[in-house]
Chains A and B, each alone.
Chain A
Amino acid sequence: MAEFEPVLLANVGKQESWTRRVYEQNGGYQALRRVLKTMTPQEVVELVKASGLRGRGGAGFPTGVKWSFLPKDHPGPVYFCLNADESEPGTFNNRILMEHDPHQVLEGTIISAYATGASVVYIYLRYEYPLCLKRLQQAIDECYEAGYLGRDILGSGFSLDVYIHRGAAAYICGEETGLIESIEGKRAWPRIKPPFPAVQGVFGKPTVVNNVETVACVTHIAARGAEWFKSIGVPADPNNPRDAGSYGPKLYCLSGHVNRPGCYEAPLGITCRELIEHFGQGVWKGRRAKAAIPGGISMGLLTAQELDTPLDFSSLQKVGCLGLGTAAVVVMDETVRIIDYLYNSCRFFAHESCGQCTPCREGTAWALRIVDRIRRGRGRLVDLDILLEIGNTIGIIPGTTICGLADGAAWPLKNAITKFRQELEDFIRRTNPQGYMQSDPVPLELHTLEH
């Protein structure tokens, strides 16, 4: 890790790092110039494929492969949507990039649009990021002035327009087809796939949706090459043909009970403990970690014994988590009650379920009511099994919902109940000594509906 050189955050902290002047002083837009002058779009796709870059938004799908799904020789237009709806609790890496280095994001966006043959980019920006809106719009204006956007960019014949589309505080808009529906002016109900956006996306046209950090990586792959990118991170397991590896630098968000919360750049595959100890300077107040969320709240929970798990695309599943997600680590110290964590998580998903699929809408709402009742001292041991059953039956993985929101709701439940069952049982026994054995239905009035 000693020789690792941060690139994504290299400009962050410099004075006026968000201006074109400072960005160009540090070598900005050289990669774009070179790409437009010397490479065909297909060569850029192959470059990104060769780099092994996987999407940074949560699902980790190989970016170059996603691009190659676009139909060849489509009359167009092709659309490129930049997913800046960052809303996963604990996650703020895209905000840092857009606030401090919007030109890095735009350079990657323009290169990615060139590679995919897109003529229009919509940046879907969450409402809660007003400073990003300001900085991005300034940067876009500067790009038009400099000829990096608009007609016939740098004399290449390639033309591109970029528009910011502002969201309205709905988590589901980060799901790529929900995002597409939202751009079209509809409720952000995710679509049944196939057809995938590459074939039929926004306005029925071929569409690529990529995360902000993903296109920022494209900037550096274009500047430094696929081999450089592949030299960082964790190589694919040769014994597992399904492992696509975890290559490149990654922005890790660290928050919760640590001494130094923040966004840190490291090679993919550092362990959770390294992140907490090295970057976060340990758990606050001299306490010990009880658990940590590995990659945004959807990904589940690591116990204190599991903190040496590498934060990459394949290791977290081995300890029962959903995956790397957004690589946002939230640390909980030994004073945190697991029931309170569960309540917070269940409340979030019940609030953000879009309501389209019944298992998710009802499952998240009932999970919240049950967890809330336990928290108020009216829990029964059987409730834990009911919660597990909800967790096991909602989501894409059991095949009952259209999108993965419910899987994200399920994992905190499943991880908390399997990894911290004793604590939860003790809590129920202690807070409801008379009634904890009851398995009869709970009167409806004990399920509160107000959250």
Chain B
Amino acid sequence: MSNGKVSQEQPARVLTPEMIDEIRSYFSRYPTRQAVTLPALHVVNRHLRWVPPQAVEEIAQLLELPPAQVQDTLSFYGFFRQDAPCGQVRAWVCRSISCALRGGEELLEHMCRRLGIRPGQTTPDGKLTLEFAECLGACEYAPCMLAGEELHKCMTTEDADRFLESLGVQVVQESASQK
């Protein structure tokens, strides 16, 4: 920059031909390209576990939209991450009323303590992103957790420990005195 030259380097493209084909397969379903915004974001998110800013540019090109328009939509839905990829498994613990009445908040707190992270964060080994959810719509199984595509029903803290163990994620061992 000091000599007045601006870097001409193009950022590496992130959408693979496979993702592009998948996004294009939605075009015939809608009368506008913009309507493919959410499907496209889901495609990228499923492949990359996040939607890097460069992907927004490329989706916008594909949908013939200004990138800001895609970004505007994306930013509305807290679901799509732009700071870093999610862990290999993304799990949501419900904190809404039916689960909260049956220990949902304590469950989330327990898991956070075991992992040494806060809701929304990813474990250092990249194995798990743990989040809270508003009502997962499985209130008869309270407290519940959605991990990837799997619903964990009527969870106890022991169930949570077994789940963490099954992922092989590193946990903080609690001493008896802490309990």
List residues of A whose CB falls within 8 A of some B CB.
Answer: 77, 86-92, 94-95, 126-131, 161, 163, 165-171, 182-188, 203, 253-257, 261-263, 293, 297, 328, 330, 332, 336, 340-341, 344-345, 347-348, 351-352, 354
Q: Is the CB–CB distance between B38 and A185 below 8 Å?
A: yes
A186-B34, A348-B96, A348-B134 provided; 9 other pairs, C-beta below 8 A?
A89-B97, A128-B92, A130-B146, A168-B41, A169-B78, A182-B38, A183-B38, A185-B35, A255-B101
B contact residues around A293 at 8 Å (CB): 97
Give the nearest-CB partner of A163 in chain B.
Answer: B29
Known: A128-B92, A130-B149, A257-B101. A186 touches B73 (CB 8 A): yes
| Whole-angstrom distance between the Cβ of A197 and the nearest chain B Cβ | 16
Q: Is the CB–CB distance between A185 and B32 below 8 Å?
A: yes
Q: Is the CB–CB distance between B35 and A183 below 8 Å?
A: yes
22 A-B pairs whose Cβ atoms sit less than 8 Å apart in the complex = A87-B137, A89-B97, A94-B137, A95-B137, A130-B146, A165-B39, A168-B38, A168-B79, A169-B78, A170-B77, A186-B37, A187-B75, A254-B140, A255-B142, A256-B98, A261-B140, A293-B97, A330-B98, A344-B95, A348-B96, A348-B135, A352-B134
**Number of residue pairs spanning A and B whose beta carbons lie under 8 angstroms apart:** 139
Known: A128-B136, A253-B139. A170 touches B78 (CB 8 A): yes
Q: Is the CB–CB distance between B73 and A185 below 8 Å?
A: yes
Judge whether B24 is part of the interface by a CB distance below 8 angstroms: no
Give the nearest-CB partner of A86 in chain B.
Answer: B137
Q: Is the CB–CB distance between A169 and B133 below 8 Å?
A: yes
Q: Is the CB–CB distance between B73 and A90 below 8 Å?
A: no
Question: Measured between alpha carbons, how far is A328 from B140 in the docked complex, in Å?
Answer: 11
Judge whether B151 is part of the interface by a CB distance below 8 angstroms: yes
Known: A90-B98, A185-B35, A344-B100. A126 touches B42 (CB 8 A): no
A contact residues around B38 at 8 Å (CB): 165-168, 182-183, 185
Question: Measured between alpha carbons, how far is A190 from B89 in the docked complex, in Å?
Answer: 33
A contact residues around B39 at 8 Å (CB): 165-166
A contact residues around B137 at 8 Å (CB): 86-87, 91-92, 94-95, 126, 128-129
Q: What per-residue 1/0 map shows which CB atoms of B114-140 lie under 8 Å from chain A?
A: 000000000000000000011111111
- Counting from the closest, the 6 A-B pairs by CB-CB distance are A185-B37, A187-B76, A255-B139, A168-B77, A185-B34, A255-B98
Q: Is the CB–CB distance between B31 and A95 below 8 Å?
A: no
How many B residues touch the partner, as a band?
35 or more
Give the nearest-CB partner of B80 in chain A.
Answer: A168
Which residue, B73, B76, B96, B137, has most C-beta atoms of chain A within 10 A? B137
B contact residues around A203 at 8 Å (CB): 30-32, 35
B contact residues around A345 at 8 Å (CB): 97
B contact residues around A127 at 8 Å (CB): 79
Question: Measured between alpha carbons, how far is A256 from B140 in the docked complex, in Å?
Answer: 8
Known: A184-B35, A256-B101. A87 touches B139 (CB 8 A): no
Q: Is the CB–CB distance between A262 and B140 below 8 Å?
A: yes
Judge whether B158 is part of the interface by a CB distance below 8 angstroms: no
Q: Is the CB–CB distance between B96 and A95 below 8 Å?
A: no
Q: Is the CB–CB distance between B139 and A328 below 8 Å?
A: yes
Give the nearest-CB partner of A335 in chain B.
Answer: B101
Judge whether B102 is part of the interface by a CB distance below 8 angstroms: yes
Question: Measured between alpha carbons, how far is A166 from B38 in the docked complex, in Å?
Answer: 8
Judge whether B18 is part of the interface by a CB distance below 8 angstroms: no
Judge whether B36 is part of the interface by a CB distance below 8 angstroms: yes
| Whole-angstrom distance between the Cβ of B3 and the nearest chain A Cβ | 43
